[in-house]
Structure 1
Amino acid sequence: MKNIKKLMCTALITMLGFSAVGCNMIAKTPEAIAKSPVAVVNGEKITRADLDNNMNMKQVIAQVKQQYGENYEKNEEAKGVLTEQRTKILDDMITQKVIEQKAKELNLLPDDSKLKDEAAKQLDETKKSFGNDTSKFQEALKQGGFTEDSLKEMFFTQLRSQAIIKNIADNVTKDVKIDDKKVQEYYTANQAQFTEKPNKIHVAHILVKTEDEAKKVKERLDKGEDFAKVAKEVSQDPGSKDKGGDLGTVNYVDSGFDPTFMAAAIGQKEGAISAPVKTQFGYHIIKTIKKEEYPVKKLETVKDQIKQQLESQEKNKMLSQKIDEWKKSAKITKNEKNLQ
């Protein structure tokens, strides 16, 4: 009797296991994958098909296919890249969905018929950009993973998203105003942005990992050792080490260098060598070789420019905060297993 029960139990487990495998097999079909929800936002689904038909995702898929070949879906590395990108792009789609839902609630949705006409015009212009060479156009569509219809739909989606975010932004930020006091404060604190010509600085540095190393470097320089010679010996910046630490001449504004580094370089006289300066990259000994500085424009000549800049910054900040609020209050669920 016990043996019979054991056999029945084993058979039941086997059947259940087969059933589970069967369900997985069904879930893995292309049709089922396309229909599977990757996220639900306030009751509205975003399906895997929605995600994979997203313009950015299509570009990723096309690049992965080009790199790994037609059988990219069987390559583990390629699958990892796709899952990572799907996760990022899905986050953007969730944000877009939240914004669209709020636009609907506030009666701020655009006129879709006008946008469809505009999308059709964009498609025609795209064709013309290929010199009306149909074969080249079709080849480009194929490489990008598009058909004419899907490309036009992508244009429509882009235009609609842009129109929605503009309507939302105009609504949320309509009361933003920048007074003269804020303009004056910004002008005073950012004089280098408003010079007759861009201020420039020729700078060199020696980069090391620790403060102790930086202090030892400074001691050597204080004793008269040549800056370029020491940089070639100890600097850990591969881009400037062989040049004796020379970073060339850059603008004060938008130099591309760390702000703390730039403040130290600009703040000292020509020919001066700094004490150790800490940034995200390590510790720098900075040499200010030469500075080119120009007169500052009068406030009256840049007042409107500053006002527009501050208004734009304030509006972007307010809009970002409002979208974050909407996302936090939204009911959002993700099905990460459907991203693989």
Structure 2
Amino acid sequence: MRQINKRWTQKGLALGLALTLSVSLAACGKKDNKEAADTSKALATYKGGEITQAEFDKFMGVNKVLDPQMASALESPEYKGFIEKQMLTQEAVLEILSKEATDTAKTEGEKKATEYLEPIKSWDKTQKDSFDQKLKDAKITQKDVEDYFKQTFVVMADMDAKVTDQQVKDDYDKRLKEDPHFYDIVTVRHILVSTKDPADPEGKKVLRTDEDALKRAKEVQDKLNKGGDFDALAKEYSDDPGSKENGGKYENQSVGNSSFVPEFTKAMAELPVNKVSDPVKSDYGYHVMRVDTRKTETLDEKKDEIRSTLGQSLINDFMEKKLPDYEFKSNLPEPSMPAAPETSAAPGAGASPGASAAPSASPSAEPSKK
């Protein structure tokens, strides 16, 4: 089941909305009686409420604007029914939990939503026009987006309030016990000597043999150990287009939430500071690495994020274990389970934070695994 949008729990709610929202309200056209009648039918019912076609259309419209990856997946007949079924369940969960939220959570959630949306008032005409067009294409208004955020923040505020300080501490301690580097934040440099051609979108074209790549990586390692400049050597040798012009640097990377390939993440976590690594082999070639800084985030620094993560777990538990008590019933056709999408062997750059049913990988030579 597609998880309740995990983006809600990320620090700063990294939904991409702050880059694109418009302050102007999209005009809401009038509907004739026939259309109103068509959209008034209940797509889902639950104890104490229902979700009409019109309500679901708005919910999906907002999510398509906020998550272009999901919008793209909905174009595929193979995935459309599956995604809509899951999203209808999510909308029901949001409605139920927002209605049951405490007055304190409702006040706090609506306040947070208002504060989060406040920066859109300073946007220029280009930003406003761009988002207005997206709203128009999705057949929603900005009020629909605002209502969605208010409902979401209310639910998260209510769930977060149910998480105790002791539960937060226990989770922090558990993570550290399982992996002492989990909360490490690292600034790392690397020079990738690739065996695959980064210009190949399929990630299959061979750039050089493994033997040649290792020889070149050792040459880089030797030059660095003799005092060579990392910035200059990265520009000369690195096959990672995402970092070579920046001295191979990736700043403030979380070990516990790393999107890098496992070999790279392990070296990033364990390599002594300011030591040039031996060539680290991954599926994409050899990485010559150096950790510039490493620090462990404290409980105080992580507590809000941990609380949100645990609050998200409460939502998931409700969906899986308690929703049946509300006699939730979907009137959408039962979709067939879509086949798992094929993924490229090459790593992808900058995957969208929203988990869609049909993610696509964009190949690059970065040490990313997604």
Are 2:96 and 1:90 aligned? no
Distance 2:39 2:334 in 1: 9
- Is contact 1:200-1:250 (8 Å) kept? yes
- Give the alignment partner of residue 329 of structure 2, picking from 313, 325, 333: 333
In the alignment, what sits opposite 2:146?
A: 155
After superposition, what is the alpha-carbon deviation per residue over 1:174-200, rounded to whole angstroms, capped at 9, x for unaligned?
553528x939957x93399457xx332
- Is contact 1:37-1:46 (8 Å) kept? yes
- Give the alignment partner of residue 202 of structure 1, picking from 174, 191, 195: 191
- Give the alignment partner of residue 57 of structure 1, picking from 55, 61, 82: 61
In the alignment, what sits opposite 2:264?
A: 261
In percent, how many aligned pairs have the same letter?
12
Q: In the alignment, residue 166 of structure 1 is paired with which amino acid? A: A
Q: CA deviation at 1:93?
A: 1.0
Q: In the alignment, residue 322 of structure 2 is paired with which amino acid? A: S
In the alignment, what sits opposite 1:272?
A: 278
Distance 1:265 1:137 in 2: 39
Aligned in 2, Cα 1:145/1:263: closer, same or farther, shift over 3 Å?
same
- Is contact 1:35-1:48 (8 Å) kept? yes
User: SS of 1:336's equivalent?
Assistant: coil
Q: In the alignment, residue 329 of structure 1 is paired with which amino acid? A: K
Distance 1:167 1:86 in 2: 26
Question: TM-score when scaled to structure 2?
Answer: 0.47
Aligned in 2, Cα 1:176/1:164: closer, same or farther, shift over 3 Å?
same
Q: CA deviation at 1:143?
A: 5.5
Structure-to-structure mapping, 1:158-307, within 5 angstroms: 158-173=149-164, 175-178=166-169, 182=173, 185=176, 189-190=180-181, 193=184, 198-206=187-195, 220-221=211-212, 246-247=239-240, 248=244, 249-251=248-250, 253=253, 256-264=259-267, 270=276, 272-274=278-280, 277=282, 283-288=283-288, 291=290, 293-294=292-293, 306-307=298-299
Aligned in 2, Cα 1:262/1:335: closer, same or farther, shift over 3 Å?
same
User: SS of 1:35's equivalent?
Assistant: coil
**Equivalent residues, number:** 249
User: SS of 1:39's equivalent?
Assistant: strand
In the alignment, what sits opposite 1:23?
A: none
Aligned in 2, Cα 1:31/1:191: closer, same or farther, shift over 3 Å?
closer
After superposition, what is the alpha-carbon deviation per residue over 1:66-117, rounded to whole angstroms, capped at 9, x for unaligned?
x9xxxxxxxx9688886566445324312312422442xx6666359x969x
Structure 1: where are the runs of 5+ without partners? 1-28, 68-75, 209-213, 229-242, 278-282
After superposition, what is the alpha-carbon deviation per residue over 1:3-49, rounded to whole angstroms, capped at 9, x for unaligned?
xxxxxxxxxxxxxxxxxxxxxxxxxx634431222222335211111
Aligned in 2, Cα 1:88/1:200: closer, same or farther, shift over 3 Å?
same
Q: CA deviation at 1:166?
A: 0.7
Structure 2: where are the runs of 5+ without partners? 1-33, 198-205, 219-235, 336-370
Aligned in 2, Cα 1:263/1:271: closer, same or farther, shift over 3 Å?
closer
After superposition, what is the alpha-carbon deviation per residue over 1:293-323, rounded to whole angstroms, capped at 9, x for unaligned?
34x56xxxx7xx5113442343234323322
Between Structure 1 and Structure 2, which shows a larger proportion of helix residues? 1
User: SS of 1:257's equivalent?
Assistant: coil
Distance 2:333 2:298 in 1: 48
- Is contact 1:206-1:284 (8 Å) kept? yes
Question: TM-score when scaled to structure 1?
Answer: 0.51
User: SS of 1:189's equivalent?
Assistant: coil
Greater C-alpha radius of gyration: 1
Distance 2:154 2:278 in 1: 53
After superposition, what is the alpha-carbon deviation per residue over 1:258-287, rounded to whole angstroms, capped at 9, x for unaligned?
13334257767747345x65xxxxx45424
Aligned in 2, Cα 1:101/1:34: closer, same or farther, shift over 3 Å?
same
User: SS of 2:169's equivalent?
Assistant: coil
User: SS of 1:246's equivalent?
Assistant: coil
Q: CA deviation at 1:330?
A: 1.6
In the alignment, what sits opposite 2:39?
A: 34
Structure with greater contact order relative to length (CA < 8 Å, sep ≥ 6) = 2
Distance 2:99 2:317 in 1: 14
User: SS of 1:53's equivalent?
Assistant: helix
Aligned in 2, Cα 1:142/1:128: closer, same or farther, shift over 3 Å?
farther
Q: CA deviation at 1:51?
A: 0.8
Q: CA deviation at 1:201?
A: 2.6
- Give the alignment partner of residue 106 of structure 2, picking from 107, 110, 115: 110
